[in-house]
Amino acid sequence: LSISDDLKIGFFCTDHATQTDYSEILPLKELSSSTEKLIRIIRSLQVDFGFLKQLLQLKFEDSLKEESFNLFTALHDRILTIEKHYQEIEDIIRKCYNQQLADAIAVIKGMYKVGF
């Protein structure tokens, strides 16, 4: 039994006074100091995790930017290659039409010379 069980205050038997025994003071001090240390450690961990979260987010954003730049560069190079190929085909078609036009003009010119 503890001291508080011996002291009765009030009208009912369940009203007890609360007293701390001198032997309980040292464990309470140790418990409160270890609780304070735990709180400091938890706050330190929260700060560390906050920094870690920011670091990971920045690394992710950097890698995302790098990957998007690589993708843009690859697509841009592909578009330039396609445009160059299109220009080459257009030049070939233009030369073919010019040759056909020159042949047609030569045929018509020959027909007029024969007739005159």
Length of the chain: 116
Q: What is the pLDDT of residues 96-115, one digit of tens each?
A: 999 999 999 999 988 888 76
- What is the H or E stretch that residue 3 is in? helix 3-6
Cβ atoms of residues 44 and 52 within 8 Å:
no
Residue 64 has pLDDT above 90, yes or no: yes
For range 4-11, the mean pLDDT: 55
Q: Write the burial class of residue 30 (CB in 10 Å: 0-12 exposed, 13-18 middle, 19+ buried).
A: exposed
Is pTM beyond 0.75? Reply is no
Could you tell me the maximum CA-CA distance found in the chain, to the nearest angstrom? 146
Structure tokens at 113: 């010379």
Cα–Cα distance for residue pair 53/44, rounded to 1 Å? 14
